[in-house]
Amino acid sequence: DAKTTQPTSMDCAEGRAANLPCNHSTISGNEYVYWYRQIHSQGPQYIIHGLKNNETNEMASLIITEDRKSSTLILPHATLRDTAVYYCIVSNAGGTSYGKLTFGQGTILTVHP
Amino acid sequence: DAGVTQSPTHLIKTRGQQVTLRCSPKSGHDTVSWYQQALGQGPQFIFQYYEEEERQRGNFPDRFSGHQFPNYSSELNVNALLLGDSALYLCASSSLDSGNTIYFGEGSWLTVV
């Protein structure tokens, strides 16, 4: 699986958009970009994933660059409950590494009032 | 629809003992993966079960073993516990037939004393 690079920490004001970047310059053509978050002492929560097109769901939007070497997770209106560690993961979903996610250190997002 | 459920939520064991952790996957999922998360670290892949067989394995010793039952539920067994085995153990479930999304349970906190 390709390796990802994320900032160690970020801050965001409540009600503003949180934009979390991720670099994955060695991503392969069949690897998806996944985003999970983990609130202290809880299991990782799935947020969104995509292959090449931008994706949006009720939680967030995922913007993937045309060359697929980086992506941005957007939380449109951050709340205090969005304070968590956010993990960007690339994985060969459906391939030989199906179901295996390689977590890095993630980005600690702190949303403040 | 119940998500991924794990038991027990917390337990304390003595060094040298054995422990069994249990996981019921999300309804419709047939693949179960186990992860270990030490304090302050991201989750690390232990192994994955599909069709009652171990399909993939991470870099963990043979003291870590598992089982998957016909109803897709799974157990993680750790023998000869070491202090370093103290961690949050996470179960994740998925299914190729249900898309590429992997869901995690809330985990089992194991403390070895």
Higher pLDDT, A2 or A6: A6
Q: Is A53 on the interface with B (CB under 8 A)?
A: no
With CA atoms as reference, report the closest residue to A45 among B45, B97, B102. Answer: B102
Cβ atoms of B58 and B43 closer than 8 Å: no
B30/B28 Cα distance (integer angstroms): 7
Chain A residues with beta carbon closer than 8 angstroms to that of B92? 99, 101
Distance from C-alpha of B52 to C-alpha of B66, rounded to nearest angstrom? 10
Interface check for A65 against chain B (CB to CB < 8 A): the answer is: no
Which pLDDT tens digit goes with each residue over A6-28?
999 999 999 999 999 999 999 98
- What sign does the dihedral A73-A76-A78-A79 (CA atoms) show? negative
| Residue entry with tokens 């003291």 | B63
Whose CA is closest to B104, among B41, B60, B43, B15? B43
Q: How confident is the model at residue A40 (pLDDT cuts 50, 70, 90)?
A: confident
Q: What percent of chain A has pLDDT over 70?
A: 94
Work out the pLDDT band at A95, boundaries 50, 70, 90. Answer: low
Q: Residue A47 has which token pair?
A: 């947020």
pLDDT in tens, B70-88: 999 999 999 999 999 999 9
Give the closest of A42, A46, A102 to B102, CB-based: A46
* Cβ within 8 Å, pair B106-A43: yes
Q: What is the pLDDT of residues B38-73, one digit of tens each?
A: 998 999 999 999 999 999 999 999 999 999 999 999
Rounded to the nearest integer, the mean pLDDT of chain A is 92
Per-residue pLDDT band at B101 (split at 50, 70, 90) = confident
CB A106 within 8 A of CB A39: no
Q: Mean per-residue pLDDT for A84-90?
A: 95
B24 in reach of chain A (CB within 8 A):
no
Q: Which amino acid is at A60?
A: A
Inspect the interface and report whether the beta carbons of A49 and B101 lie closer than 8 Å.
Answer: yes
Q: What is the mean pLDDT of residues A95-101?
A: 71
Q: Which range, of A17-21, A29-33, B35-39, averages the lowest pLDDT?
A: A29-33
Residue B93 CA: distances (Å) to CA of A11, A18, A54, A105, B58: 32, 29, 25, 22, 16
